[in-house]
Amino acid sequence: MVGTGRNVVFTAFGSFVVLAVLSVVFVRAVPDPGGPTTVDAVAESNETRVRLVGIPSANSDPSEVFRPRNLAAPSNDTRSALLAFTGDTLAHGAVVRQAAANASGSDADYDFAPMFAHIAPYLSTADLAICHLETPLSPDNTDLSGFPTFNVPGNMADGLRSSGYDGCTTASNHSLDRRTEGVIATLEVLDDAGLGHSGMARDQAEYDDITLYDANGITVASLSYSYWFNGFREPEETPWLVNEIDVEEIAAEAVRAREEGADFVVLSLHWGDEYRHEPNQYQLDHAEALAADADIDLIIGHHAHVVQPVDVVDGVPVVYGLGNILSNQSAACCAAGAPDGVVMLVEVTESIVNGRSVFDTSFGYVPTRVDRTDFTIVPVIDIVADAELTASTREVYVASRQRTADAITLFGNDIGIVEVSHTR
């Protein structure tokens, strides 16, 4: 790779449609932070245009809009991919009991797939979908436990895979809940399900390996780190077991990722204060330190269990927190926003500028909320449009949508809710 540049645009359209010829549906038109870029010509084919349909923002022409898709005149070799990221996957006891009920009459002990069924179309629309698995997994569904030290049925991995996820980040404060044996078991279960993983390792060689994904021709590296492990410590003889946040260590891994062919490096950080929408000083300081690293292209945060804002720090997009995608947390125990989450959609598009590869990123999101009657993950935009919804239920989901929008845009970046067509 000759080099990379960073351009970011946040879109604010109410609903989008993915065309069959396109991977994604976002608008871009911002200069490179390193200096101005002049666009003399943009190809007019369908492959280089984005069709925006639906409710436009206040700054847009309310009619059907076409705008250039690429920052610079694209070459035949430019690539584009849609990435999807979700928040904490946290299977409390009640979630596990529902999964057992879902599996009734089948050969499986537990079935988590129905919980993800409503967001599966969004995940499968993406070229790469990454979950954040916060808990250890049991390979034989024995010795299970919930909060505060988790051990979740291994069927969770099958549910994630069948729902459209390609891999998971695994470094969290619960990574060592089942000590070394739990790390090994979890990674074996993920391997058996065909899910990639980053953040934990069974040996030094696995730690040294970089988790790389092919996203529609773009090689994406996934790095994963946690701020601590709930008081548990890695054994001295296995310091590679779980990644703990360290700026120098992260920088070294990002360099290795580039050396191994990564075009785009995504860093997952488990950090922040639980149930607080605002990033804490630790997050702000580390975002600044890590964004200064030219080898890191995107930072995705977890752990707060409520949605946190999206910002750009030194040219690097930082998603401070994605909330919960699945949990039993509620307003009663935790915070009004605990059942809220998002499917964050990130478009990565390559342009060739002066012979260099420049990867631009654009953002949109699907707000979600966990329905705790059966722990299905509900896309809020879908259910609010349901004419049969009762007034009281609609009020709950409208409040959730507004709460998520307020959190995402807390730093003033206007990012739109995305509605993706369920066919490609």
Q: What is the mean pLDDT of the chain?
A: 83
Q: Which fold has domain 80-408?
A: Purple Acid Phosphatase; chain A, domain 2 (3.60.21)
The pTM for the full model equals 0.84
Terminal CA-to-CA distance of the chain, rounded, Å? 29
Residue 1 has pLDDT above 50, yes or no: no
Q: Are strands 264-270 and 218-226 parallel, antiparallel or unpaired?
A: parallel
Q: Please state, as a whole number, how many other Cβ atoms lie within 10 Å of the Cβ of residue 107.
A: 5
Q: Enumerate the domain spans of the chain.
A: 80-408
Tell me the per-residue pLDDT of 374-408, one tens digit each, with 9 for 90 and over: 999 999 988 888 888 999 999 999 999 999 999 99
Tell me the per-residue pLDDT of 93-141, one tens digit each, with 9 for 90 and over: 999 999 999 999 999 999 999 999 999 999 998 999 999 999 999 999 9
Residue 304: partners with Cβ closer than 8 Å, 6 or more residues away: 272, 273, 274, 275, 276, 277, 320, 321, 323
CA distance linking residue 351 with residue 384, whole number of Å: 38
Q: What was the pLDDT predicted at 78? A: 82
Tell me the per-residue pLDDT of 42-56, one tens digit each, with 9 for 90 and over: 222 222 222 222 222
Nearest-10 Cα torsion for 232, 233, 238, 241: 50
CA distance linking residue 199 with residue 214, whole number of Å: 19
Q: What was the pLDDT predicted at 269? A: 98
CA distance linking residue 155 with residue 138, whole number of Å: 9
Tell me the per-residue pLDDT of 331-375, one tens digit each, with 9 for 90 and over: 999 999 999 999 999 999 998 888 888 888 888 899 999 999 999
Which alpha helices (DSSP H) does 146-230 contain, by range? 155-162, 179-193, 204-208
